[in-house]
Structures are given as C-alpha cells and as structure tokens.
Amino acid sequence: MTAKRLERAFFIVLIAAAIACLCIAPFGEHSRWLSAASVLVGLGGVVQLEISGLFERWVQRYGDTSKYPSGPPSHITRQLSDVGDPDRPVRAWFYNVVFFDKRTGFLLIVLGGALQLLNIWI
C-alpha cells in the first residue's frame, strides 16, 4: 500500500470519526463530543492539505523551467490525473474535491475552528 493510500485512508477515518462525534453530541455530553469533532476535523484538514500536495509544493518546486522544460515528471503527472476517468465522472469529481483541492483542507480547518468556538459558548 502506498503512502498516499494510507494518508487517504487516515483522512477518511478522521472525517468519519468527526461525523460520528457530531451525531453523538446531541445525545451525550455535547461539549466533549463537539470538542472531539472539532479536533478531528482540524486534523482532517491538515491531512487533506498533505494529500493535496500543499506541503510538498512548499519544499520542492516543479515550476523550474530550466530543470523541467516540459512540466513535471511523468510520475507526478500520472498521480495528478489518476482520477480523471471519464467513465466515472462522479468519482473523478469527488476525488478531485476531496483529495486534490487545497480549499477543502482549508475549509476543514476553518470548520474545526468554528466547532471549537461553538463548543466554548454552548
């Protein structure tokens, strides 16, 4: 199993656990469950940003035209386009939004912070 698959699985587990905490919150100790959900969503946001390649891009830039005149190496290009299957447009859209869009990770971090803020005032 590749590292990206493990990261994706970890991301799915984090978000599923956060959703479970949100579902349990009205019936249990709501402050603890909301706190747990907010932390899990924030962690999910950070993991999603790693999956989308944000941190990798900070460390290593493929925009150097003298080093890569034809764009990124083929293994990077294949990784970016491995979900562009025209026979599965819904899956391709889902994967692109969930795993490759940096805004998703940012929004998850914001949502986690909002849940923490909500928890403080409830």
Q: What is the pLDDT of residues 58-96, one digit of tens each?
A: 556 655 566 655 655 565 555 555 555 667 778 777 877
pLDDT cut 90: percent of the chain above it: 12
How far the first Cα of the chain sits from its last, in Å, is 42
**Cα 43 to Cα 49: distance, rounded to the nearest angstrom:** 10
pLDDT of residue 3: 66
What would the two tokens of residue 47 be? Answer: 């993991």
> CB neighbours (10 Å) of residue 15?
19
Which has the higher per-residue pLDDT, 77 or 54? 54
**Cα 106 to Cα 92: distance, rounded to the nearest angstrom:** 20
**Cα 10 to Cα 98: distance, rounded to the nearest angstrom:** 13
